[in-house]
Structures are given as structure tokens and as C-alpha cells.
């Protein structure tokens, strides 16, 4: 078992307040967060949903790498993105979807086998499982040269 830790601070009301988040690893150090970053594009302030997208994309690439390796086709490179949607639903705000796209360089494999492994990883990675109740969609799985 391994525990991961993050700490957050918030000052003020929801609409006008501000906060920060830090991780025990030190990768994030007082990274700014705000309500506005959750509902409008931001280049300098993060949101829980952006952090969730980062967690989902990174977990997904690890799961897909494992799945491909178990099938005898270790990947050379996998690039994935996750787009997490935060929207009004059921009378409030919630994470409604996470859409994954992946491109991979995997020697000795065909597109159909890659797509099958990509779908399995989309449903099987631990972050996908933690997002039970959120629609998870594999938007694209493209095998490159």
C-alpha cells in the first residue's frame, strides 16, 4: 500500500476567493487554484479538474503500456491526453466526462490490436475505476509508424 498526499488552502468565498495546492513530492508547490479556473480557460491557475485530467492521462498511459507489454508488444512511446468536463448536472456542478485520446508507437502490432488494448486500458486503469459514475470515453487510438 502507498498513500499519496496533497494539501490545499482556500481563502475567501467561492466566487472571489483563491487557493493553492501542494503535493508531498514537491512537484506542485503552492500552485494557484480558483473557482474561475474551473469554469473559464486559464493559463496561470489550475483547477481540480485539470489535475484530475493529468492524473487520468498519466495513469492511462501506464495501464496501456502494461496491457501492451503483457500482449508481447511493449510500446516505444505513448502520448495520451484526457479532457475532463466540469458541468452543471443534476442540480449542481460535477465532473461529467473524461475523454481520452492516445497515439502510440508500438512495434509489431496492428491497429485493431492497439485499439483493443487502448479500450481495455481506458476502462481498467485505477483512475478510471476511481471515476466510477463519470462517463469515460476513448475518443481515438492511433497507431503511429
Query: Could you tell me if 19 and 8 are in contact, meaning their C-beta atoms sit under 8 angstroms apart?
Result: yes
Q: Measured between alpha carbons, how far is 106 from 73 in angstroms, rounded to an integer?
A: 7
**Whether 95 and 135 share a structural domain:** yes
**Whether 53 and 24 share a structural domain:** no
**Whether 75 and 135 share a structural domain:** yes
Query: Could you tell me if 126 and 56 are in contact, meaning their C-beta atoms sit under 8 angstroms apart?
Result: no
**Whether 16 and 76 share a structural domain:** no
Q: Measured between alpha carbons, how far is 100 from 103 in angstroms, rounded to an integer?
A: 10
**Whether 58 and 25 share a structural domain:** no
Q: What percent of the chain has pLDDT over 70?
A: 100
Structural domain of 98: 48-144
What is the count of structural domains for the chain? 2
**Whether 97 and 124 share a structural domain:** yes
**Whether 78 and 23 share a structural domain:** no
Q: Dihedral through CA 22, CA 87, CA 95, CA 42, nearest 10?
A: -30
DSSP designation for 74:
-
**Whether 89 and 121 share a structural domain:** yes
Structure confidence at residue 89 (pLDDT): 86
Structure confidence at residue 133 (pLDDT): 87
**Whether 14 and 81 share a structural domain:** no
Give the position of cell 475523454. 99
**Whether 32 and 67 share a structural domain:** no
Listed residue (67, 136, 46, 134) closest to 99, CA to CA: 136
- Does 122 fall in a domain? yes
pLDDT value at 24 more than 90: yes
Q: Measured between alpha carbons, how far is 128 from 21 in angstroms, rounded to an integer?
A: 22
pLDDT value at 43 more than 90: no
**Whether 136 and 72 share a structural domain:** yes
Amino acid at each position: 500500500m502507498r498513500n499519496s498526499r496533497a494539501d490545499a488552502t482556500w481563502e475567501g468565498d467561492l466566487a472571489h476567493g483563491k487557493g493553492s495546492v501542494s503535493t508531498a513530492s514537491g512537484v506542485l508547490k503552492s500552485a494557484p487554484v480558483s473557482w474561475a479556473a474551473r469554469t473559464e480557460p486559464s493559463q496561470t491557475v489550475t483547477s481540480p479538474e485539470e489535475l484530475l485530467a493529468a492524473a487520468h492521462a498519466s495513469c492511462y498511459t501506464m495501464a496501456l503500456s502494461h496491457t501492451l507489454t503483457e500482449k508481447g508488444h511493449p510500446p516505444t512511446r505513448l502520448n495520451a491526453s484526457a479532457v475532463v468536463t466540469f458541468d452543471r448536472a443534476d442540480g449542481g456542478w460535477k465532473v461529467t466526462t473524461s475523454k481520452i485520446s492516445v497515439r502510440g508507437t508500438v512495434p509489431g502490432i496492428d491497429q485493431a490490436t492497439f485499439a483493443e488494448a487502448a479500450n481495455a486500458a481506458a476502462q481498467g486503469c485505477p483512475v478510471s475505476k476511481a471515476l466510477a459514475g463519470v462517463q469515460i470515453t476513448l475518443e481515438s487510438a492511433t497507431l503511429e509508424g
